[in-house]
Amino acid sequence: MIFGLFKPDSGKSKILVVDDSTTIQMILKRDLAGLGYEAVSALDGPQALKAAKSAKPALILLDITMPGMSGLEVLKRLKKDPETSPIPVIMCTSEQTGSDVETAFGAGAVGYLIKPYARDRLKKKIEEVCGGGEAKP
């Protein structure tokens, strides 16, 4: 049966994008596809926690400012769970708010991106954080 030949999802080139803006989701998905990655979307904290487990992404781009569960709270929960804690997280913010970034680094984020990010900055940051690691397309 040919369907048995599908390999289980390795998640090697998947990036989980967590942002409540569907427009940012759409544009990031397009940019990440252009860079050879597959974007998985989560529109809020609970969806993000679920998707981090089911999609097993190589990297998470997590917006700080979200209604309901904030990005920082999502980050803390991701890092608390042994299943999701090894996944590197880049925090996304619209302005560089020093204290938020500091808190995020303290909670285990590996980098941050200030919006609006052009595709080359996005690429640079992903490569900087992941190096030769799993998020290579």
Partner 1 sequence: MKAPPFTDAEFAFLKDFVGRNSAIHLDAKAMEVIAIHLGPVIREAGSVPQLIRNLRAEADPGLCRRVIESLAVHETTFFRDVRPFSLLRSRVLPDLISRRTTARALVIWCGACSSGQEPYSIAMLIRESFPHLLGWDLRILATDLSERVLARAREGAYTQLEVNRGLPAPYLLKFFRREGTVWRLAPEVRRMVEFRPLNLMAAWPHRRPIDIVFMRNVMIYFDIETRKCLLERLDRAMAPDGYLFLGEAETALTLHASFQKTGDERVSCFQRNSREGGKA
Of 81, 83, 94, 128, the residue at the interface with partner 1 (CB under 8 A) is: 94
- Taking CA atoms, 26 is separated from 43, 48, 75, 87, 101, in Å, by 11, 16, 22, 22, 25
Does 3 bind partner 1 (CB under 8 A)? Our answer is: yes
Only one of the segments 32-40, 70-78, 80-88, 123-131 lies at the binding site for partner 1 (rule: CB under 8 A); that segment is 32-40
Q: Which is nearer to partner 1, 9 or 73 (CB)?
A: 9
Residue whose pair of structure tokens reads 């781009």 in the numeric block = 61
Name which of 14, 10, 41 is nearest 126 in CA terms.
14
Distance CA 59, CA 98 (A): 23
Return residues touching partner 1 (CB under 8 A): 2-3, 5-6, 9, 20-27, 29-30, 32-33, 36, 38-43, 47, 51, 54-55, 94-95, 115-118
